[in-house]
């Protein structure tokens, strides 16, 4: 399958954000990555997952939630990575921008969030129920979405490591608060970053299956 790769600049209201788009021919859907604390679009883990999704026919967009200047501030203060309202506004801006691109707006949209980015993904799904068709969290702080969890309509998969007890407990509690179709998948032997052999590959498989189910042609679409 031929895949086009192109760098982009996303023109949002308050920032110009760098992005990378992978677009396989006849893409079945589009997955936007929402990275977590201190990460960026250059994360090797996210790029590995994006390549896997692309091989399965899903377009992917990796983008930096912060500008270069903001990253420099965050490296010192570590405060912006936990600014969930800021991260959510940026993600909503990206979602709205995608809706202006003819070649992208036709695709069902999924959000793949990690760490604090998972909270922003769920908040954005609650804000744009007509646009977001599925959410996957990888080791995510989904609890930080707070009361908005009950407003999420998009089918949500939380993937957490079996050896990540704090996040596992938080994700279980989130599962009790969500009112949408949802599942908690525990990867045995995995810690928070899924660095153990074979664990990230299992994340890829679980997430890919979820997105293809809800983003692919003829896939289930949640009611809004």
Would you say residue 80 lies in a domain? yes
Two tokens, residue 52: 């896997």
Query: Residue-wise over 58-68: b if at least 16 C-beta within 10 A, else e?
Result: bbbbbbbbbbe
Domain count across the chain: 1
Long-range Cβ pairs for the range 169-177 (8 Å, 24+)? 170/141, 170/142, 170/143, 171/137, 171/140, 171/142, 171/143, 173/143, 174/142, 174/143, 174/145, 174/149, 177/149, 177/150
- Paired tokens of 92: 């909503």
Strand partners, 31: 60, 110
- Establish if 96 belongs to a structural domain: yes
**Sign of torsion, CA 11 36 124 129?**
positive
Domain residues for the domain of 165 are 3-215
Q: What CATH number did the domain enclosing 142 receive?
A: 3.40.50.1820
Q: Please say whether the beta carbons of 11 and 28 come within 8 A.
A: no
| Residue 61: inside a domain | yes
Q: Read off the pTM.
A: 0.92
Residue 105 lies in a domain: yes
The HSE-up count of residue 97 (CA atoms within 13 Å, CB side) is 19
Residue 223 belongs to a domain? no
Tokens 């050896």 found at: 163
34 within domain boundaries: yes
pLDDT tens digits in sequence order for the chain, 224 residues long: 567 888 899 999 989 999 999 999 889 999 999 987 666 787 888 899 999 999 999 999 999 988 888 878 878 887 777 889 999 999 999 999 999 998 899 999 999 999 999 999 999 999 999 999 999 999 999 999 999 999 999 999 999 999 999 999 999 999 999 999 999 999 999 999 999 999 999 999 999 999 999 998 644 544 44
Asked if residue 221 is part of any domain, the answer here is no
Neighbours of 124 (CB within 10 A): 30
Please state whether 146 falls in left (phi above 0), alpha (psi between -120 and 50) or beta.
left
In a domain, 222, yes or no: no
CA-to-CA distance for 164 and 147, rounded, in angstroms?
Answer: 24
- H or E stretch including 36? none
């Amino acid at each position: 399958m031929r895949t086009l790769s192109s760098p982009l600049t996303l023109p949002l209201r308050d920032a110009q954000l760098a992005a990378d788009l992978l677009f396989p021919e006849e893409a079945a859907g589009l997955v936007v990555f929402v990275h977590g604390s201190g990460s960026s679009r250059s994360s090797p883990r996210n790029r590995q997952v994006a390549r896997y999704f692309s091989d399965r026919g899903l377009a992917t967009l990796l983008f930096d939630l912060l500008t270069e200047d903001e990253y420099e501030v965050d490296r010192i203060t570590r405060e912006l990575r936990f600014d969930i309202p800021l991260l959510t506004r940026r993600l909503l801006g990206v979602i709205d921008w995608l809706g202006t691109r003819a070649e992208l707006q036709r695709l069902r949209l999924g959000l793949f969030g990690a760490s604090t980015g998972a909270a922003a993904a769920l908040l954005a799904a609650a804000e744009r129920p007509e646009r977001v068709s599925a959410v996957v969290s990888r080791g995510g702080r989904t609890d930080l979405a707070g009361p908005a969890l009950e407003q999420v309509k998009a089918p949500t998969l939380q993937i957490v490591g079996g050896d990540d007890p704090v996040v596992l407990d938080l994700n279980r509690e989130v599962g009790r608060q969500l009112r949408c179709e949802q599942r908690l998948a525990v990867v045995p032997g995995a810690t928070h970053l899924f660095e153990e052999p074979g664990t990230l590959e299992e994340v890829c498989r679980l997430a890919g299956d979820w997105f293809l189910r809800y983003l692919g042609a003829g896939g289930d679409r949640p009611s809004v």
